[in-house]
Amino acid sequence: MKRTSKSGFSMLELVVSASILSFVLGMPLMIFRSAERMRSSVTTRGDLQAKTRHTIDRIAGRLAGSSAGMIPQSLLGAGQWSSIVDLQVAIGWNGATVDWGTPERLALLVSPEDPDDGVDNDTDGMVDERIVVWITDVGLGTQRTTLVRRDVSELMAGEIAGNGIDDNGNGLVDEAGLAFEFVDDQVVIRLSLQGLDSSNAIIEHTEERRIAFRN
Amino acid sequence: MKLQRSSELTVKGVGRRLGVALMGVLVVLSGLLVLLATFQQVTARRSSETRASADDRRAFYLAETALNEGMTALRAGSSGAVGSEAAPAYFGGGVFWVEATDLGSSRTRLEATALAGSGRAALEAVVEVRPQEPLFRSVLNSKDPLGMASGVTVDSFESELGTYASQATNSYSGIPFAKDNGDVCSNGSITFAAGASVFGDATPGPGYTCSFTGSSYVSGSTLPAADVFTFPVINVPSTPVTGPLTVPNNGISTLTTGSYGFSNLTIGNGGTLKVQGPAKIVCTDFTGNMYGRLEIDATNGPVTIYVQGLYTHVNRFEAVPAPGSPMAVAFMLSAPQTISFPPKAKLRGAYYAPDSEIQFTSDDEIWGAFAAKKVSMASSTKFHFDESLMDHWDNPAGKVDPLDLLVWRRIGVTPQSLLLDHRDPYTVLGVNKNALLSPAQSWL
């Protein structure tokens, strides 16, 4: 009996050693999780930035080949915005005038999976997100819609819906997550995308680019 | 049952535990390796996608640069072509070339192809080269309202094609004339006295009109100008002054091609000053005395005389062309004054006096162009606009980009093999990067 009692541990020793062990294992775990959250956040932001730029690249590529005169929304002028652009792109020169392509439209639409009802219908963690589509041959039998980008914010980052105030200070009031502003022969494209990091926190990224119509 | 010693139990137990730990470590390590490989693959793919996207964007910007280089070449009078697929221009870590096709009517199609990393892009533009606005666009051009006196006739000719007499082969109501580009312009209204005849356009300023008395005649348009003509400030070249230049009476002096600065320039009675163009002469006062001659040889370029002080034109002084030369001489008169040409004066060349009044007295005959604040004339003065003058002096105030972009668009990269080969541009094109020329050196 005496030998047995000497070879074991007291309850106090077990508790202390278990505490130390959980502390020693827990600290790296906490650090790891914190680092992982940070990595996830940075990765999400990086992805959002890349997606935003890529989307603006595509939109800018179409708009650059058009002309302010071929875009009805250009009459809105500075300080006004539209989330839809109807355009035609130059496809050649016939010796006297520019040949224009068939009508196209770039538009911000409500996502079919998440209707505009304030509820996260598609349970992706984001509410009422929008999509950007590119519609070619508008009004023709060959009309075709191509999805350009999902997860577009309903409103531009920093903007509060329907308060009639330029909350984010970019010169536009209550603008949507995709907004076109026409200034002389140029157009300013603003786009806000959103995504979730590993802790399901919503991250937004906004970019704007001003391009000149070449035609 | 055989009892083991406690020491054996301990050693065997430890051994078993060590084996389990080793297996555990191996499993964890394997898992980590798999994770690492996956992560590395994902990172590499993402990095590759990002690089490809960035290369595409760089190629696009490079193609825009290429188009601009082609346009710059066109503005400078080159064909617009820059480099070629076999010898592209090197710029900004990539290469490009521009093919130019002359479409006629001063139009050119530029097709730019650019390669940067794995990115490829091609753009097309059709541009039109517009001529610059000439400083001397009509025989008379005044800031103030212009009055055409009775019996005045205006027509045009080209001194580069020969004498006026050799070109005056037409006739209208008994009035001989050469060509019908003898325009008169004003930033105000234009009034025509009886018998004034203009073989050309009469263009009043925006919002103004032409008014006619009696049987005056204008062969062309009398519509007002869309814009006011901007009379530019005279930009006198900074030339060192070497003192006065006086051509002695009946003597001959010669100025060869170059720039000259004189305090005063005087051509004595019967003296002749021969000037070989291209030349720029800056002086304070200019005096052409009786029977003096200013002989202009503009075969290789025009002669411009900047007079910062007074211009004096004595009776029977004449500026004349050298045999076989066009009469490309212009007097730039910057000081406000009234320049009164004597009766029966024979005037050739161009006069630009934006702050002065020019008066033509009786029986003058003019082969040139005059732009001034105010122009007045005696009846029956004969004006013959020398169209050759339009080629030599541009209006800097009216200078706009001579290139008009008619259409711009993205086009497919050709040959298509360039799109399929994602290696660096130098390998793809088979060129030595270090031997490539800069864009400006690659103009064709």
pLDDT tens by residue, B99-157: 999 998 889 999 999 999 999 999 999 999 877 788 898 999 999 999 999 999 999 99
pLDDT at B213: 85
Closest residue on chain B to A56 (Cα)? B57
Closest residue on chain A to B407 (Cα)? A215
Q: Are B148 and B377 in contact (CB under 8 A)?
A: yes
DSSP B396-439: GGG---SEEEEEEEE---SSTHHHH--S-HHHHHT--GGGPBPT
Class of residue B185 by CB neighbours under 10 A (exposed 0-12, middle 13-18, buried 19+): buried
Tell me the shortest Cα–Cα distance from A171 to chain B, in angstroms.
Answer: 29
B 27-86 near A (Cβ less than 8 A): 50, 53, 57, 60
Q: Which of B57, B60, B407 sits opposite A215 (nearest CB)?
A: B407
- A57·B409 Cβ contact <8 A: no
Each of the 444 residues of chain B gets a pLDDT tens digit; together they read 444 554 444 555 555 555 777 787 888 888 889 888 888 888 888 788 778 888 998 999 999 999 999 999 998 889 999 999 999 999 989 999 999 999 988 899 999 999 999 999 999 999 998 777 888 989 999 999 999 999 999 999 988 888 898 999 998 988 889 999 999 999 999 999 998 999 999 999 999 999 998 888 999 999 999 888 889 999 999 888 999 999 999 999 999 999 999 999 999 999 999 999 999 999 999 999 999 999 999 999 999 999 999 999 999 999 999 998 888 999 999 999 999 999 988 899 999 999 999 999 888 899 999 999 999 998 889 999 999 888 888 887 765 677 889 999 999 999 989 989 989 999 999 999 999 999 999 999
Q: Are B222 and B146 in contact (CB under 8 A)?
A: no
Q: Find chain A residues with C-beta within 8 A of B50's C-beta.
A: 50
pTM attached to this predicted model: 0.62
Query: Is B373 at the interface with chain A, CB within 8 A?
Result: no
Closest residue on chain B to A89 (Cα)? B409
Q: Find chain B residues with C-beta within 8 A of A91's C-beta.
A: 409
Q: Are A20 and A180 in contact (CB under 8 A)?
A: no
Closest residue on chain A to B406 (Cα)? A215
Q: Is the pLDDT of residue A17 over 90?
A: no
- A54·B406 Cβ contact <8 A: no
Residue the block writes with tokens 């930033």: B187
Q: Are A130 and A111 in contact (CB under 8 A)?
A: yes
CA A33 to each of CA A26, A59, A198, B127, B210: distance values in angstroms, whole numbers, following the listed order: 10, 38, 10, 60, 87
Give chain A's end-to-end CA distance (angstroms, integer).
99
Contacts of B253 (CB under 8 A, 6+ apart): B245, B247, B271, B272, B273, B274
Q: Which of B57, B109, B410 sits opposite A57 (nearest CB)?
A: B57
How far is the C-alpha of B363 from the C-alpha of B406, rounded, in Å?
50
Mutation site, B105, B407, B411, interface A, largest A CB count within 10 A: B407
* Average pLDDT value for chain A: 91
Closest residue on chain A to B50 (Cα)? A50
Q: Give tens-digit pLDDT for B245-280.
A: 999 999 999 999 999 999 999 999 999 999 999 999
Tell me the shortest Cα–Cα distance from A111 to chain B, in angstroms.
Answer: 27
Query: Is B407 at the interface with chain A, CB within 8 A?
Result: yes
How many CB atoms neighbour CB B35 within 10 A? 10
> Which amino acid is residue A101, in one-letter code?
G
